[in-house]
A and B are shown apart, each in its own frame.
Chain A
Amino acid sequence: MATILSLKDAVARNIHDGDSIAFEGFTHLIPHAAAHEVIRQGRKDLTVMRMTPDIIYDQLIGMGCVKKMIFAFAGNPGVGLLRRLRDSVENGWPHRIELEEHSHAAMANAYEAGAAGLPCAVFRGYRGVDLPKVNANIKTLTCPFTGEELAAVPSLRPDVAVIHALKADRKGNVFLEGITGVQKEAVLAAKRSIVTVEDIVDDLGPVSSNATVLPRWTVTAVAKVPGGAHPSYAQGYYPRDNAFYIAWDAISADRDRFQAWMRDNVLNAGPDVFAERVSSRNSAHLEPTA
């Protein structure tokens, strides 16, 4: 049953050294503030999974929090490669992380299988390619009805799913819409979950009956962190800060500059800085100007 907590307490109670964690959000609603809190609390030896590791995983890896990463596409979308990830994989700085690499289809299916309580996901994939040669968790099975050979991967069932959503009500029911990615699946697949939200309201209001709502009994902790997805975005609240994604390339290119940025903006900061970061970017309908 969801408990409404500060982000600091939500992380302290639910994320421990050595846990497996899915920080999900497909471009939209990426839980940056929560990842920063994990870094600030100095968590270590994490197995992190994410379909599209981008800046937060570059930060977690560069700060030495990660032991292993399960992923499908690791890049700064539209900008380039992840420089802290590369430094770890190519040069062992700060240490070499272990990689378990999949395709998007595999991970999407694996989260869905996790949510469905299945041990593995079955799909038509990986034909003709090299990933099965370097990832022992990619296997095949034969359809008992047609004889078609299909790809199989273990379901993803993390200790903790961490997502950012648009809002929650005071009981902890969580609402999100727009590009919803694999967040619902990740939360339902996980043992525990932390959801940061833009706002906590009395009533979720008139939402579509098909909107994505996570009932409070599927969520462990809810924390209000306005702007908590920045530089990712929250549909209807603030747009994606593409300029920051572009700027990250230079910040992360140099170890010293990276560490200075993390010290100033993460280690010596708190979740409250996120509201300031998006305050000038709020969508017009939140602050009527006319």
Chain B
Amino acid sequence: MSDFTPSEMMTIAAARALSNDDVCFVGIGAPSAACNLARLTHAPDITLIYESGTIGTAPDVLPLSIGDGELCDTALTTVSVPEMFRYWLQGGRITVGFLGGAQIDRFGNLNTTVVGDYNTPKVRLPGGGGAPEIAISSDEVFITMKQSLRGFVDKLDFVTSFGHGAGPDDRANAGITTKGPTRLITDLAVWRPDPATREFTVTSLHPGVSRRDIEDTVGWTPKFADSVEETPAPTSEELTVLRDIHARTRAAHTGT
């Protein structure tokens, strides 16, 4: 099976980043697809947690919201939202927080609040929700989003969730002890922070993607690792499982 979309490659590459032992705080949208694909392929025992309070959930279809009944029905247990944020996230029990965003900069700082000025925004985005504390209380953060000039910007209009600030000491200076964003998985590449500068650097290009494609879709001059690998193409199993869950999800959400 060689035909796949960039979006499928993104979800599959993101799923591969998760392991069976992870306790993952799942954001909605692209992160949710990746986390459930991991659960249905190589990481059957991964613990998926949604901020609605569902712990160890195993949905048959992807939830449209973070609190669909499917999540509660299939969870090991469901706790209140204050408990979720206090005991489970702030308590340090999450290994991976999986986030998306509207805007990202080269240090993995995210904006989901406003485009333009805060008080007179061009676009009023939803806001941070759980992300500001997911970004500081999870052991590490994976980010998945599609590359575009609108989304990958030189300077964020608003910092909703903290990544690496502007360099290697900024998390510590802000009183944050966790690792922060360690992987950025896009529709074109896998990026990791440079060990010295913490700037996200392309470490793996998806099949058929050129360096030029990367340069054309980010609002800064992107850095590439000394040795850039090619992301292994999706396997037949990965594609089949992903397409099946998307088909079940579409049918469930449109009521057909």
- A residues sitting closer than 8 Å to B (CB atoms) are 26-28, 51-52, 71-75, 77-79, 81-82, 85-86, 89-90, 101, 103-105, 108-109, 111-112, 123-131, 134, 148-149, 178-182, 184-185, 212, 233, 235, 239-243, 245-246
Contact = CB atoms under 8 A, between A and B. Distances in A.
B129 interface: yes
Q: Please report whether the interface of chain B is mostly helix, strand, loop or mixed according to DSSP.
A: loop
A27 B82 CA distance: 15
B85 A108 contact: yes
Contacts of A112: 82, 86
A254 B133 CA distance: 35
A82 B125 CA distance: 9
Contacts of B85: 104-105, 108-109, 123
Contacts of B121: 89-90
A134 B114 CA distance: 12
Contacts of B78: 178-180
B6 interface: no
Interface string B122-165: 11111111111100110000000000000000000011111001
Given A108-B81, A129-B132, A27 B68 contact: yes
A123 B90 CA distance: 8
B72 A179 contact: yes
A124 B68 CA distance: 28
Given A179-B72, A243-B254, A245-B64, A72 B128 contact: yes
Contact of B63 (A74, A75, A78, A212): A78
Contact of A26 (B28, B53, B137): B53
Contact of A124 (B54, B71, B133, B162): B133
A126 B132 contact: yes
A90 B132 contact: no
Given A235-B69, A245-B64, A27 B81 contact: no
A73 B69 contact: no
Nearest to A149: B175
Contacts of A123: 85-86, 90, 133
Contacts of A90: 121-124
Q: Please report whether the interface of chain A is mostly helix, strand, loop or mixed according to DSSP.
A: loop
Given A28-B52, A89-B124, A240-B69, A127 B130 contact: no
A109 B128 CA distance: 15
A86 B86 CA distance: 31
B228 interface: no
A125 B161 CA distance: 10
Among all A-B residue pairs, the 3 with the closest Cβ atoms: A27-B67, A128-B162, A73-B129
B53 to A, nearest CB: 6
B86 to A, nearest CB: 7
Interface residues of B, number: 57
A56 to B, nearest CB: 14
A53 B130 CA distance: 14
A271 B158 CA distance: 41
A130 B158 CA distance: 6
A190 B159 CA distance: 32
| Highest count of chain A CB atoms <10 Å: which of B82, B124, B158 | B82
A129 B159 contact: yes
B141 to A, nearest CB: 13
B255 interface: yes
Contacts of B132: 103, 105, 125-126, 129, 131
Given A149-B175, A239-B69, A103 B81 contact: no
Contacts of A28: 52, 67, 69, 72
A155 to B, nearest CB: 12
22 contacts: A52-B129, A72-B128, A74-B124, A78-B65, A86-B123, A101-B127, A103-B128, A103-B133, A105-B90, A108-B84, A126-B133, A127-B136, A128-B171, A129-B161, A130-B160, A179-B72, A181-B81, A184-B80, A240-B64, A240-B69, A241-B255, A243-B254
A1 B240 CA distance: 56
Nearest to B125: A81
| Highest count of chain A CB atoms <10 Å: which of B124, B131, B165, B174 | B124
B67 A74 contact: no
B254 to A, nearest CB: 6
A78 to B, nearest CB: 4
B4 interface: no
Interface string B96-131: 000000000000000001000011011111111111
Contacts of B89: 105
B52 A27 contact: yes
A233 B71 CA distance: 13
Given A73-B127, A127-B136, A212-B80, 8 more contacts: A28-B72, A101-B113, A103-B132, A108-B85, A129-B159, A149-B175, A179-B78, A182-B81
